[in-house]
């Protein structure tokens, strides 16, 4: 199954619906647009293996561009819309991109790129791009071959690194992909063309683009939110009769913080399968979501590197609270710092033994750092396995705080903080401390900044003191209106830590 086939068998079936505007693109229209862009890519000199950048907000052109690349054999490089011009220029240079596709929303940033060494041909949708493509043929190019997507890591601890998957074993454009089987057999998504899938997150992220394109391979409809809004998401489920969806934990937190009368006024009865991943989900939040939506929630743990995956249903999570599931791709090994496997129940670095090795683009050192002597690979997470083979995550190794020689994992403290009624988001970091090496700092986003201050700090301290050992307690509470969190749920802790490092130096 493939959109090319559905353009013939169900040409008028909606492939894309923009949730806010209602703009609808049928399978025939998406196919025609993809073919025209494939011709344009060839006309620009891009052939199999050549890369191009995509800097766009969520819009209907994103999937058309994706499917063009998937038949032109090119490498599509999605770029976060939150990056600065210098960060974008770095990705374009590092990926060897030959051109950029964008929209007028980013005119100011694009104008800076030539001075930063990224002077590339640009196609701008909304400013002549559609007219340029309209003049090209809607028939398939003669030399179709499947393309790839090169994702860049979030850069939470340094410069982002490109992850370019190996060429597929079957280069045929219409060949099936593994996610199709996982979607239907694992996550109970509909395979008969009746899937109506809600995508609330930015399409430049790995999961939204991968899962929404999988729905297209199954002949379903992808409803794309222009921007996530908690009540808007519930309204979209009701309006479009959504039956499957994909989320990150911050979406759950923000929907749960809605007033009860708002949460209960929407009809969610069509919703049969909801998957989430990308960041750890606090147990209290996960439990509340299952109580609200029912046992339709599936969680998986994986990375853009594609080296392994776990999965857990609602039923298994309830009996193994806090788990991210059992391995469905690869074999899990939990190892100490020396690379030795630890006993069941002990914490260590999580490695996947997998048939799908990966390499970081132009960074052999980082690839080597992520590779075990036996060839297993890691995403840099710490965790443990139980006797039943269920995996539990502790935190990322790079986030660990060492205070007075004691290892402290921030995730435990963050999970407690976001479970508090008055807290919307939290990041716990280690800040320089002359006496202890590092001190625990909680950077907190209250539901209302009007409540930020000494009284809320005292309330949070009292709340945490019954759950945490004294050495894990935050020594500082820093209240902010917003945290530097990506829309896929990942915190840019590096930026927060740099602030405190600079402040420590200036105060020295």
Q: What is the DSSP string of 121-190?
A: -EEETTTTHHHHHHTS--SPPTT-B--EE-EE---TTSS--EE-PPPPS---TT---HHHHIIIIIS---
- Cβ neighbours around 433 below 10 Å, total: 17
**Could you tell me the pLDDT band of residue 433, with boundaries at 50, 70 and 90?**
confident
Q: Is the pLDDT reported for residue 491 higher than 80?
A: no
Q: Higher model confidence: residue 351 or residue 155? A: 351
Strands (E), 9-65: 14-18, 24-26, 51-55
Position 156 pLDDT exceeds 70: no
Are 485 and 356 part of one and the same domain?
no
Q: Residues of the chain with pLDDT > 70: what percent?
A: 98
The answer as to whether 451 is a domain residue is yes
Rounded CA separation 399/380 (Å): 10
Residues 30 and 168 reside in one and the same domain? yes
- Tell whether 434 is covered by a domain: yes
Tell me which H or E stretch contains 48: none
* Domain of residue 465, CATH code: 3.30.300.30
302-334: string of b/e by CB count within 10 Å (b at 16+)? bbbbbbbbbbbbbebbeebebbbbbbebbebbb
Query: What number is the average pLDDT over the span 46-74?
Result: 97
Q: Which helix (H) or strand (E) holds 40?
A: helix 27-43
383: which strand partners? 348, 393
Give the pLDDT of residue 158.
60
What is the chain's mean pLDDT, rounded? 92
Q: Domain total for the chain?
A: 3
Q: Answer yes or no: do 347 and 457 share one domain.
A: no
Q: What confidence score (pLDDT) does residue 486 get?
A: 74
Q: What is the CATH number of the domain that holds 103?
A: 3.40.50.12780
* Kind plus residue range of the DSSP H or E element containing 234: helix 230-240
The Cα angle at residue 280 between residues 180 and 287, in degrees rounded to 5:
90
pTM > 0.95: yes or no: no
pLDDT tens sequence across 63-94: 999 999 999 999 999 998 988 899 899 999 99
Residues 377 and 410 placed together within one structural domain of the fold? no
Whether residue 420 is found in the same domain as residue 447: yes
Range of the domain at 69: 26-175
Is a pLDDT exceeding 70 seen at residue 155? no
Residues with Cβ within 8 Å of residue 341, at least 6 apart in sequence: 333, 334, 335, 348
Structure tokens at 482: 């917003």
Give yes or no: residues 42 and 159 share one domain.
yes
Rounded Cα distance between 401 and 295, Å, is 36
What is d(CA 203, CA 197) in angstroms, rounded to the nearest whole number?
Answer: 14
- Cα(120)–Cα(127) distance, integer angstroms: 17
Answer yes or no: do 57 and 160 share one domain. Answer: yes
Query: Which whole number is the average pLDDT over 17-32?
Result: 98
Domain boundary among the residues 355, 379, 397 is at 397
Q: Which of 111, 143, 175 is a domain's end point?
A: 175
Residue 405 has pLDDT above 80, yes or no: no
Domain final residue, candidates 142, 175, 208: 175
Euclidean distance between CA atoms 217 and 1, whole angstroms: 6
Task: Say if residue 114 is in the same domain as residue 142.
Answer: yes
Whether pLDDT at 400 is above 90: no
- Do residues 3 and 31 lie in contact, with contact meaning Cβ atoms separated by under 8 Å? yes
Collect all residues with Cβ–Cβ distance below 8 Å to 245 and sequence separation of at least 6.
197, 198, 199, 200, 237, 271, 273, 274, 275
């Amino acid at each position: 199954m493939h959109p090319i086939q559905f353009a013939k068998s169900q040409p008028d079936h909606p492939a894309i619906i923009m949730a806010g505007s209602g703009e609808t693109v049928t399978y025939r229209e998406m196919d025609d647009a993809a073919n025209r862009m494939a011709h344009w890519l060839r006309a620009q000199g891009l052939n199999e293996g050549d890369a191009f950048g995509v800097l766009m907000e969520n819009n209907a052109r994103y999937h058309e561009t994706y499917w063009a690349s998937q038949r032109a054999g090119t490498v599509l490089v999605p770029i976060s819309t939150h990056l600065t011009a210098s960060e974008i220029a770095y990705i374009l240079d590092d990926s060897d991109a030959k051109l950029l596709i964008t929209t007028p929303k980013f005119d100011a940033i694009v104008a800076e790129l030539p001075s930063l060494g990224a002077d590339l041909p640009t196609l701008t949708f909304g400013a002549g791009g559609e007219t340029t493509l309209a003049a090209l043929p809607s028939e398939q190019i003669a030399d179709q071959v499947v393309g790839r997507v090169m994702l860049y890591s979030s850069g939470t601890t340094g410069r982002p690194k490109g992850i370019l998957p190996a060429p597929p074993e079957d280069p045929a454009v219409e060949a099936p992909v593994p996610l199709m089987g996982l979607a239907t057999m694992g996550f109970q998504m509909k395979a008969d063309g009746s899937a109506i899938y809600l995508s609330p997150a930015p399409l430049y992220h790995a999961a939204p683009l991968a899962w929404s394109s999988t729905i297209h391979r199954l002949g379903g409809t992808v409803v794309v939110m222009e921007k996530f809004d908690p009540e808007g998401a519930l309204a979209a489920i009701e309006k479009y009769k959504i039956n499957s969806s994909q989320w990150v934990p911050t979406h759950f937190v923000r929907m749960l913080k809605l007033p009860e009368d708002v949460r209960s006024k929407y009809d969610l009865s069509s919703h049969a399968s909801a998957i989430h991943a990308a960041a750890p989900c606090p147990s209290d939040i996960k439990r509340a979501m299952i109580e609200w939506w029912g046992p339709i929630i599936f969680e998986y743990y994986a990375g853009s590197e594609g080296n392994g995956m776990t999965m857990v249903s609602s039923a298994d999570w309830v009996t193994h609270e806090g788990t991210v599931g059992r391995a469905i791709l690869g074999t899990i090994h939990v190892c100490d710092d020396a690379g030795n496997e630890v006993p069941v129940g002990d914490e260590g670095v999580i490695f996947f033994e997998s048939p799908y090795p990966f390499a970081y683009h132009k960074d052999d050192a980082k690839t080597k750092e992520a590779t075990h002597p036996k060839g297993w690979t890691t995403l840099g997470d710490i965790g443990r396995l139980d006797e039943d083979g269920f995996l539990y995550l502790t935190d990322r190794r790079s986030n660990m705080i060492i205070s007075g020689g004691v290892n402290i994992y921030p995730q435990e403290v963050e999970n407690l903080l976001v479970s508090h009624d008055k807290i919307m988001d939290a990041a716990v970091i280690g800040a320089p401390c002359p006496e202890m090496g590092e001190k625990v700092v909680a950077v907190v986003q209250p539901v209302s900044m009007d409540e930020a201050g000494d009284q809320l700090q005292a309330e949070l301290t009292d709340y945490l003191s019954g759950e945490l050992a004294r050495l894990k307690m935050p020594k500082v509470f820093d209240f902010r209106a917003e945290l530097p969190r990506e829309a896929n749920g990942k915190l840019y802790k590096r930026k927060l830590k740099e602030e405190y490092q600079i402040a420590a130096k200036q105060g020295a």
